Amino acid sequence: MRRFFLALGLIAVAGAASAETKPSPGPTVGTADTKVRLKTLGYKDVHDLRPGLKPGEWQARAVQGNVEKSVTVSPRGAVTAR
């Protein structure tokens, strides 16, 4: 009888431990990552950096060549300039 309760207790603990482990969300782009990404693509003077309309998205103003542009960086790092 003791073995039964011991086994039951171990199963309960193991089940609780496995229920608590959640996969970590994918990598997200932060402010530093956004600036590095834009500078890597040739943008300079990155400023007015703020969260975008969608989760994980960033918007900023940056200079490419001699033209200031409004840029959006997606959570995966894709850059769109306007």
Strand order in the sheet with 79-81: 43-51, 58-64, 67-73, 79-81
Q: Which residue has the higher pLDDT, 11 or 20?
A: 11
pLDDT for residue 67 is more than 50: yes
pLDDT one-digit tens code per residue, 2-18: 776 566 555 765 554 44
User: pTM for the full model?
Assistant: 0.64
Q: Which residues are registered as beta bridge partners of 47?
A: 61
User: What would the DSSP string read from start to end of 3-31?
Assistant: HHHHHHHHHHHHHHHHHH--PPPPP---H
> Hey, which residues does 73 pair with through a beta bridge?
58, 79
